[in-house]
């Protein structure tokens, strides 16, 4: 779990930085302010949820793994179904690509983000602190 989640967080963070760089160097001035705002919103959502995936890696020792696994898959699916369709729609005027009838995926992605946060919330509700014994010399 840890290795896979770290790899995915690394890839997603890398993609976010690449897309942020592309928008600033290649697409700035080619997109309308509204398109640029949509693109930046998708970047923020991707990075926030990439960081949430990274946090899941570090909390997996303390909190219910099944709920964290659920949150991981919901966040990852949200990134794919929210951020990437927004990237496509925001750059339609430059790339000619469009989500067309599949733009509803953006709403599903947003709902998956919300469900992921509910899973994080619920993992806190059911959390039971386990005291660790400390050995004294």
Q: List the domain boundaries for the chain.
A: 2-124
Mean pLDDT of the chain: 92
pLDDT band at 25 (very low <50, low <70, confident <90, very high): confident
Query: Mean pLDDT, to the nearest integer, of 11-23?
Result: 95
Rounded CA-CA distance 111/44 in Å is 16
Contact status, residue 40 vs residue 19, Cβ threshold 8 Å: no
Query: How far, CA to CA in Å, does 100 sit from each of 16, 58, 93, 106?
Result: 23, 39, 13, 12
Which pTM was predicted? 0.90
Query: How far, CA to CA in Å, does 126 sit from each of 1, 57, 63, 123?
Result: 21, 18, 9, 5
Q: Residue 106 above 90 pLDDT?
A: yes
46: which 2 tokens?
Answer: 């991707």
pLDDT at 118: 97
Task: Report the candidate in 118, 120, 87 with the shortest Cα–Cα distance to residue 105.
Answer: 87
Rounded CA-CA distance 22/126 in Å is 42
Query: Mean pLDDT, to the nearest integer, of 29-40?
Result: 93
- In tens, the pLDDT along 39-82 reads 999 999 999 999 999 999 988 888 888 999 999 999 999 999 99
Query: How far, CA to CA in Å, does 134 sit from each of 48, 59, 137?
Result: 35, 20, 10
């Amino acid at each position: 779990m840890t290795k896979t989640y770290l790899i995915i967080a690394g890839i997603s963070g890398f993609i976010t930085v690449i897309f942020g760089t592309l928008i600033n160097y290649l697409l700035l001035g080619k997109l309308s302010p509204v398109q640029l705002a949509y693109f930046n919103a998708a970047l923020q959502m991707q990075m926030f949820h990439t960081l949430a995936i990274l946090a899941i890696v570090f909390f997996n020792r303390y909190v219910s793994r099944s709920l964290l696994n659920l949150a991981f898959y919901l966040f990852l699916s949200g990134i794919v179904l929210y951020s990437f369709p927004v990237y496509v729609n925001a750059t339609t005027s430059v790339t000619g690509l469009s989500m067309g009838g599949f733009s509803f995926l953006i709403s599903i992605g947003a709902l998956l983000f919300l469900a992921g946060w509910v899973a994080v919330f619920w993992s806190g509700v059911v959390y039971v602190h386990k005291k660790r014994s400390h050995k004294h010399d």
